């Protein structure tokens, strides 16, 4: 066991800005070389782990998205045993978590029970995404259209949001997950806003999985927001915006476009979710309701994605 105060490690390894160790044995290392010394750094990491008798299986990877070197819990061999290949994993997964109410009704329970079961499903899938090296996960938790639901149900959803952020933040932070809320939070009660902002602030510097939670989110509103910002800049600078300027004003700025979009419950539509970011995404529709979308179902979706031929307009 070690930490960032290990003088020998700091003295011998000048490439690292920060070292973080998670309770799930994921090591995350940042470098400021732009990737020029990645191979040398990887060799040093393995030497260090061997010297310290680090017993846990691990796999070193590099993310060019944010110049972060990280050690993932699942090795290539372990992924292969699950019929997964790291090179064919999506960088960014987006999920429409649909069917909580119908799941509860099918069991003779209140809709609130379905929403609670849906929240419980999150823990396993977020951890699996992080441990396999998926770099971004965006979850459609509450759409801008969901306000038309009964007031009691909206209140239950708000309570679950507060409970989730307060209960899970310690584990998410320890696992180096970076939380970002996308959408207009101003419509939520103050206690919801406070819980979300606290989680964002606590995990802001974490270089692991980028966990985006869509709250009061609508893609049309996001696109309009970005267009207005671009128009304002164009007036101020007297220059027409380019695509990169527009993308800077999206909630997902700095992240890769979605590679895989998953929707549960058998519904075959996008429901105003990430319309810009899904331009070249592979779409996967699962027949089960969200509370039944287990890690095994998730892996099935990842395997289906790996079998797709992604040509992006080419041959």
Listed in order, strand segments (DSSP E) in the chain are 16-21, 27-31, 59-63, 68-72, 92-96, 136-143, 178-182, 210-217, 260-263, 282-285
* Whether residue 301 sits in one domain with residue 179: yes
Q: How far apart are CA 67 and CA 254, in angstroms?
A: 12
Question: 276 with 224: CB under 8 angstroms?
Answer: no
* Whether residue 23 sits in one domain with residue 153: no
* Whether residue 278 sits in one domain with residue 155: yes
Kindly state the tokens that stand for 117. Answer: 């079961």
Q: Which residues contact 204 (CB under 8 A, 6 or more apart)?
A: 178
CATH number for the domain harbouring residue 105: 3.40.1180.10
* Whether residue 153 sits in one domain with residue 42: no
* Whether residue 120 sits in one domain with residue 65: no
**Residues annotated as part of the active site:** 98, 146
Contacts 24+ apart (CB under 8 A), 116-119: 116/160, 117/291, 118/290, 118/291, 119/160, 119/163, 119/164
**pLDDT tens-digit profile, the chain (315 residues):** 334 444 444 444 433 433 333 333 344 444 455 555 555 555 565 555 545 444 445 555 555 444 444 556 788 899 999 999 999 999 999 999 999 999 999 999 999 999 999 999 999 999 999 999 999 999 999 999 999 999 999 999 999 999 999 999 999 999 999 999 999 999 999 999 999 999 999 999 999 999 999 999 999 999 999 999 999 999 999 999 999 999 999 999 999 999 999 999 999 999 999 999 999 999 999 999 999 999 999 999 999 999 999 888 887
Is residue 152, in this structure, part of any structural domain at all? yes
Q: Which residues contact 11 (CB under 8 A, 6 or more apart)?
A: none
Of the three residues 73, 100, 119, the one that is the final residue of a domain is 73
* Whether residue 237 sits in one domain with residue 275: yes
> Radius of gyration over alpha carbons of the chain, in Å?
21
Is residue 314, in this structure, part of any structural domain at all? no
DSSP 254: T
- The reported pLDDT for the residue numbered 42 is 57
* Whether residue 258 sits in one domain with residue 173: yes
Question: 111 with 128: CB under 8 angstroms?
Answer: no
* Whether residue 269 sits in one domain with residue 128: yes
* Whether residue 195 sits in one domain with residue 159: yes
* Whether residue 192 sits in one domain with residue 98: yes
Is residue 315, in this structure, part of any structural domain at all? no
- The reported pLDDT for the residue numbered 12 is 44
Strands 92-96 vs 260-263: parallel, antiparallel or unpaired: parallel
- The reported pLDDT for the residue numbered 41 is 58
**DSSP-based helix, strand, coil % in the chain, nearest 5:** 45, 15, 35
Burial of 281 by CB count in 10 Å (0-12 exposed, 13-18 middle, 19+ buried)? buried
- The reported pLDDT for the residue numbered 24 is 36
Is residue 1, in this structure, part of any structural domain at all? no
Kindly state the tokens that stand for 63. Answer: 């993310």
Of the three residues 24, 40, 73, the one that is the final residue of a domain is 73
Domain that holds residue 31: 7-73
- The reported pLDDT for the residue numbered 45 is 56
Is residue 29, in this structure, part of any structural domain at all? yes
Q: How far apart are CA 256 and CA 277, in angstroms?
A: 8
pTM for this prediction: 0.81
Question: 277 with 252: CB under 8 angstroms?
Answer: yes
Q: How far apart are CA 264 and CA 48, in angstroms?
A: 43
Count up the domains in the chain and report the number.
2
Is residue 269, in this structure, part of any structural domain at all? yes
* Whether residue 198 sits in one domain with residue 97: yes
Is residue 213, in this structure, part of any structural domain at all? yes
Is residue 228, in this structure, part of any structural domain at all? yes
String of DSSP letters for 143-159: ETTGGGS-HHHHHHHHH
* Whether residue 146 sits in one domain with residue 24: no
Of the three residues 18, 41, 73, the one that is the final residue of a domain is 73
């Amino acid at each position: 066991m070690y930490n960032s105060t290990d003088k020998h490690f700091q003295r011998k390894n000048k490439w690292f800005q920060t070292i973080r160790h998670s309770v799930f044995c994921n090591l995350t290392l940042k470098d400021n070389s732009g990737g020029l010394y990645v191979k040398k750094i990887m060799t040093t990491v393995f030497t260090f782990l061997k010297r310290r008798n680090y017993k846990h299986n691990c796999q070193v990877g590099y993310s060019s998205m944010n110049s972060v070197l990280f050690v993932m819990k699942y090795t290539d061999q372990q992924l292969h045993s699950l019929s997964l290949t790291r090179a064919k994993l999506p960088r960014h997964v987006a999920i429409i978590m649909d069917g909580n109410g119908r799941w509860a009704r099918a069991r003779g329970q209140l809709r609130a029970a379905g929403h609670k079961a849906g929240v419980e499903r999150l823990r396993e899938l977020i951890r699996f995404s992080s441990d396999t090296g998926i770099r971004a996960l965006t979850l459609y938790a509450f759409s801008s259209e969901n306000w038309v639901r009964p007031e009691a149900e909206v209140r239950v959803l708000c309570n679950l949001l507060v409970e989730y952020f307060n209960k899970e933040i310690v584990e998410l932070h320890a696992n180096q997950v970076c939380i970002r809320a996308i959408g207009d939070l101003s419509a939520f009660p103050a206690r919801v806003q406070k819980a979300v902002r606290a989680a964002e602030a606590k995990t802001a510097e974490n270089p692991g999985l980028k966990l985006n939670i869509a709250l009061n989110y609508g893609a049309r509103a996001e696109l309009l927001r970005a267009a207005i910002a671009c128009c304002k800049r164009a007036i101020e600078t007297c220059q027409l915006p380019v695509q990169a300027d527009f993308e800077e004003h999206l909630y997902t700025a700095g992240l890769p476009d979605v590679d895989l979009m998953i929707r549960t419950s058998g519904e075959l539509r996008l429901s105003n979710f990430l319309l810009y970011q899904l331009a070249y995404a592979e779409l996967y529709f699962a027949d089960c309701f969200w509370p039944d979308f287990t890690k095994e179902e998730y892996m099935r979706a990842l395997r289906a994605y790996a079998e797709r031929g992604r040509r992006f307009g080419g041959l």
